[in-house]
Amino acid sequence: MEVSNSKKRPSIRFEDLFHGIDPNTLVIDNPIQVPNSFYRELLDCSMERSYLDYVSERKAFPQKTGETQPFKATWLQITRLPVHPDNSDSYDLFNRWQGVLSSLHAWGYRFLFLLQRREGKTHLYLGAMSSNPNFIASDAIEQVKEASSGSMPGVELRALTDMEAAMEINFPLQGYGCMGAVTGLPSFFSEKEPGVLQTLDSLAFGIRGTQNEDRPYSLLVIADPISDAGTNEIINKMRSIGSEIHSDVDRRVNLNESNSTSGQKGLNPYAAAEVSKMAGVGLGRLMGKMGAKIGTEIAPGFGTAIGQAVGNGAGRLLGSAAGVALGQLNKTTSSSFSLTVDTSYLDKYAQYAEELTEKHIERMKQGRNLGYWNVGVYVLGKNRKDVTTVNGMLRSIYSGRESYLEPIRLHVLNGTSGAMDIVRGGFNMIPLYNASADGMSEDVEWHVFGRNYQYLSTPMNTKELALTTSLPRRDVPGLRFVKTAVRFANNPPVTEGDTICLGKLVDMGVEQKNEYRIEPDVLVRHALVTGSTGSGKSTSGKRILKGLLEKKIPVLIIEPAKDDYVRWAMEMNRHLPQDMQFRIYMPGHTELNGKELNRLQLNPFEPAAVSGAKVDMTARCENLIALLNASLPTSDILPVLMDETVYNLYRGFYGKEFVNGFPMIQQEKYPTLDLLTKMAQLVMDKKHYEQKVKDNLMACLETRFQYLNRGTRGRLLAVKRSTDYDNLFSRPTVINISGISSAKDKALIMSLLMLSLYEYRKSIYENDAEYRSCADRNKLLHLTLVEEAHNVLMKPETDAGGTGNPQQVVADLFSNMLSEIRSYGEGLMIVDQVPTRLIPDAIKNTNYKIVHRMTAPDDCQVMAASLALREEQKALIPSLPVGHAIVYGDKDDAAAWVHLSL
């Protein structure tokens, strides 16, 4: 179907719409200019303190004038620092040191930290001074010591006298020829606490010259506490500036421009609608592109969004206007153009200044928690080269993730500037004002954040100051590190009645006021004292023995080597009452230091018992046979022959009464060792061996029995009667057998003593009702201390050669005694250097463990297990000082660290 020409749509081109628009009118001027230098200068001067860059060039610094006397500094020297015995990081020295500084801030004193390297040694000093006329030096030192000891238990500090301070601090400082300074904010490498690389270890180790000579230098840190009000004032200034900055960080500009044309033109209604549609869509798209272009040039990142908004708005407006105008058929045609541009401009200088302001405020808020300081860091050395080297080392220590807030700057000051006189003369910080300028003085405030920023120093919070003065963590000459930073029980055991004080409790290496006390009766369940030579085992033993003597409890000391207890007993006899004085026996000696000694006699055949009590002769015979067989080298048939010889000797003396095995009354006469040979001959005569065999066996027996009758052991054992057992086991006694040279002989003699002790305790228990009543209540009625117990308690080795093994017999005897003798009121104290060579029961079946310093890992492991120690506590054992021990008994909640006293 054809359409009439009258109804055909008019052909209108899009570009016809803009014939009346001047393109020059579309150009929009941009009133926003590149920012001025205000914020850059604010960053450089006030925030990052760029004025410090020129300090090294200054030829003079203002000196204090007037008659004001310099304030007196008082000093402490750090002579020992505690560290964890196994892991140095476990002690957390940094946070503890931070706690010390926080405590010092509260007192308001100027704090001085001096690391001095001289004569190849490192010295650490802490000082305090104040402008307060009521400042008392002794009080300040005491407070510094209290803060250090409280936060770092185990630290050792020495107060310096005025003369010592002059010789050790002032005079060395006067000997330097060059000085430098370090400014800027120290920070950590990572979010974790600083490692060894961010401590003063490298500086404390020293620097060396080309000839390997040690170079002297000093690091002096002067820290003035800033009050909370002063810190808050700085924060408020920062916030005020931050508010002003924020208004200029992100600026927005709105620009409007319009243009219009008019004329006469005739269109039909259909054409008017088409034009309106085309204008609304096409022009909107064009304005969007134009707006994007403008926005991109003015404010990158915001151009596209702004352009779209501009274009859409312009398109809608233009389309509407075109539709209205063209809708008037054959009338006036009106075209209106409107352009709106929103421009956003980001000032990077202002943005960064705002970021720094917020970071500084956060730092200062931490300062309000733990303290805020004005800190001067100064380095003194013999020459410029040494100072530059130390400065560089400090920069590597202080620089971290956030040091950009105020960069670490290194300064080497002019030697004639007077800076050294200011610092070392009165321990003052160096002011930065120009003394020659009119109206300028130290009291004039020219910095936007206040006077604390007007020195060659850096305001820091306590955490930053702790990093600035971070204590070394490794041993260096002149500074000791003691591995004592371990926690132990702080509460002594709950005791009742009369007790014995072993010493003072120790925790983290620091002696406490609490005493560690034990009840005497707990020793009836035995004790083990162990430790290396010279660690204090004898001190422990003597302390307990002395306490028992004061309570009228008799003791027996068996000393196989040395004469330490003999001399101690002689000294004690000068103060003990007559009935409690020691009887001293030393086989092989008749006198010591002019003092006559008692003679010890020990007939192996004579059982021990209290006066009037019956004895078990059969049991004595069997035990003696076992001891002799183990003590003398035997093989094949010899043990049987020795058994028969001893048995027949007893039977020859006591007849049927002995054979029946019943208890016997004590005898006037007992067999002796010299009779063994004759009895052996009688035994052999009854044997139906070949004569040659008889002769060989008899020769063997005779050799062994004669061995027992010779020398010191013969004078001790080949006797008719033993020393009165009441004197040996019912009053204080020392038996020293150091005169017996053979270990096997010592084992035999000590085993006979222990056998007799056991028989005596059993006898008195069975025959004394009062004694038995006390023993049944677990009272300690007698204590035996066995020194160098490995001589009798050696862990037995397998004997495959038939040479005899006396340690096995003694070990078995002692194991039984540990289990049974406590029920008779007897306590045993075993003392030895190496616990792993003792029989297992010496560790398992003893109540109290007293462990001194030991170094062998296997010994430490065994004793740590018996003390129920944690790993870090076990690591302390090799580091225990002399006279210190870890103690654990059945009344303790946990093992305690004790400094034992005499």
At 139 the three-state DSSP class reads helix
Q: Where along the chain do its domains lie?
A: 74-204+216-234+354-481, 249-349, 601-722
pLDDT digits (tens, 9 = 90+) for 141-195: 888 888 888 888 878 899 999 999 999 999 999 999 999 999 999 998 876 655 5
In the DSSP assignment, the letter for residue 26 is: G
Between CA 812 and CA 793 the distance in angstroms is 9
Phi, psi of 770 (to 5 degrees): -65, -40
Low-confidence stretches of the chain (pLDDT beneath 70): 1-39, 42, 64-70, 86-90, 131-135, 137, 191-197, 250-346, 435-440, 798-810, 902
Closest CA to 153 of 145, 141, 162: 145
pLDDT digits (tens, 9 = 90+) for 67-111: 444 577 899 999 888 887 766 666 778 888 999 999 889 888 899
Both structure tokens of 542: 């003597």
Centroid of chain to Cα 267:
97
The 10 Å Cβ neighbour count of residue 692 is: 8
Between CA 475 and CA 889 the distance in angstroms is 35
The predicted pLDDT at position 77 comes to 94
The predicted pLDDT at position 326 comes to 35
Q: Are 261 and 141 in contact (CB under 8 A)?
A: no
Closest CA to 815 of 796, 834, 836: 796
Give me the long-range contacts of 383-389 (CB less than 8 A, separation at least 24): 383/177, 383/178, 384/178, 384/412, 386/178, 386/207, 386/215, 386/217, 387/178, 387/179, 387/180, 387/217, 387/412, 388/180, 388/412, 389/207
Both structure tokens of 522: 């707990």
Q: What torsion, rounded to 10 degrees, do the Cα atoms 857, 858, 859, 861 define?
A: 80
Both structure tokens of 551: 């309570």
Residue 95 region, left (φ>0) first, then alpha (ψ -120 to 50), else beta? alpha
Print burial letters for 530-558: b (CB count within 10 Å at least 16), e (below 16).
bbbeebbbbbbbbbbbebbbeeebbbbbb
Phi, psi of 817 (to 5 degrees): -65, -40
Beta strands, E only, 41-118: 74-82, 110-118
| Torsion sign across C-alpha atoms 655, 658, 663, 664 | positive
Centroid of chain to Cα 239:
41
Strand pairing report for 458-461 and 372-381 = antiparallel
- Give the CB-side neighbour count of residue 185, counting CA atoms within 13 A: 24
The predicted pLDDT at position 255 comes to 57
CA distances in angstroms from 114 to 78, 168, 172, 185, listed in the order given: 10, 11, 12, 19
Residue 729 is inside which H or E element, if any?
helix 725-729
Tell me the whole-structure pTM to 2 decimals. Answer: 0.72
Between CA 630 and CA 611 the distance in angstroms is 31
Give me the long-range contacts of 768-775 (CB less than 8 A, separation at least 24): 768/610, 771/825, 774/825, 775/823, 775/824, 775/825
Both structure tokens of 642: 């020795």
